[in-house]
Amino acid sequence: MELKRIVVTGIGAITPLGNTAGKFWDGLKNGISGAADITRFDASKFKTKFACEVKDYNPTDYFNRKEARKLDLYAQFALIAAKEAVEDAKLNFDEINLDKAGVIWGSGIGGIDTLTQEVKNYERSGEIPKFNPFFIPKMISDIAGGHISMKYGLRGPNFTTVSACASSTNAIIDAYNYIRLGKAEVMVTGGSEASVNEAGVAGFNAMRAISVRNDNPKTGSRPFDADRDGFVMADGSGSIILEEYEHAIKRGATIYAELAGAGLSADAYHLTAPHPEGKGAILVMNNALEDAEMRPEDIDYINVHGTSTPLGDISEPLAIKAVFGEHAYKLSISSTKSMTGHLLGAAGAVEAIASILSIKYGIVPPTINHFKLDERIDSKLDFTFDKAKKREIKAALSNTFGFGGHNASVIFKKL
């Protein structure tokens, strides 16, 4: 069977750097940090008092009050990003086969804000337990994709992938596979997360996974730096429209890039730590290259997982050197998490958009907050520290690795 070609025809985002894809890209190329003191709750008693929140967000700018009350924040972000992507793609749902159009979404945690608030309300409710009738539909991780499908009448494949920080990359890969197998023609895909709340921050604090650089939040996320002390939590969403190439051409769609290949693997090693030799990361990048029928030398830019954690930032560069050999020193590499923070289950979608736009505009976004390179990391690799760099990018690879050892990589290329 001949596999279909898949292209990107729309993008949408709401992030700590801006509430549209355009503003997000402006923040990236200008090296802006989205980190600041937490405003969504009183974090004064917590070890970490800052995060990368979505700024200037008012639900009633996007939803009426009745709608907003039925939607957890992660689902609100999903609908906002998906709407921008649908409009960007200029999809006319009266002219496409809705049985062949679907939604595959990703979220690592889902409605944790709703869960937290309902448990707090229960503790205050006295003898008779009181729960919101929308508690379960707001909380469950699949509901964002359900809302998107209902809004646009999309009757094709619809489900949610959950693989921690790889969740939305897994969603993109599944959407890609459904289209290339001929099971769908158009897919709305991506991911969303809204975990900056009491439970989320306290949980990651207990794991010692997030930065406690409260004196200077904007420098909290510092991938590959010798003094990094964990990632910075972030909220938001990214969405892309994937479309079968001939379908896109027939309707005159604008094409950003081709999704050329994808890889999956598992570390099979540890609950939260990556394999120290990067074995899972090596396998997933090789799998993506094989799927794309590309050589290592064909890749110009890697948007790395690069979380600013002590172990992850060591293993990923080792894996890159193992896969790319001498070409590793000709690659541009950057961690956009240095600016956005870590969007957890939404990270892969947001970073896929960063990779797509790097191809479109020929700009490598920077890795900011570089002060002193960890001596265990090869200084000859080009991490694009501090400032964006102009460069023709014909192909970009984006890595996402999740707790549990879940690895996912996607390759986008210029048509």
- Which residue from 134, 127, 91, 93 is spatially nearest to 113, judged by alpha carbons? 134
SS3 7: strand
Q: Helix 143-152 vs helix 73-88: angle between axes, to the nearest 10 degrees?
A: 40
Beta-carbon contacts of residue 209 (< 8 Å; ≥ 6 apart): 230, 231, 272, 309
Cα separation, 166 vs 93, whole angstroms: 30
At 152, give phi and psi (nearest 5°).
-110, 0
Are 185 and 244 in contact, with CB atoms under 8 Å apart?
A: yes
Question: Which of 165, 275, 370, 406 is labelled catalytic?
Answer: 165
β-strands 363-364, 36-37 pairing: unpaired
Question: Known catalytic residue: 305?
Answer: yes
Both tokens assigned to 161 = 């992938």
Question: Known catalytic residue: 342?
Answer: yes
Residue appearing with tokens 């986008």: 412
Residue appearing with tokens 């991506």: 190
Are 153 and 103 in contact, with CB atoms under 8 Å apart?
A: no
Question: Which of 147, 247, 275, 342 is labelled catalytic?
Answer: 342
- Which residue from 307, 141, 136, 115 is spatially nearest to 200, judged by alpha carbons? 115
β-strands 236-244, 6-14 pairing: antiparallel
Cα separation, 31 vs 332, whole angstroms: 16
Both tokens assigned to 216 = 């200077």
Question: Known catalytic residue: 406?
Answer: no
Q: In what order do the strands lie in the sheet with 301-303?
A: 158-161, 101-106, 186-193, 236-244, 6-14, 257-266, 406-413, 395-402, 301-303, 332-334
β-strands 186-193, 389-390 pairing: unpaired
Specify which residues 332 forms β-bridges with.
301
Are 162 and 348 in contact, with CB atoms under 8 Å apart?
A: no
Are 178 and 187 in contact, with CB atoms under 8 Å apart?
A: yes
- Which residue from 102, 107, 132 is spatially nearest to 119, judged by alpha carbons? 132
Just list the catalytic residues.
165, 305, 342
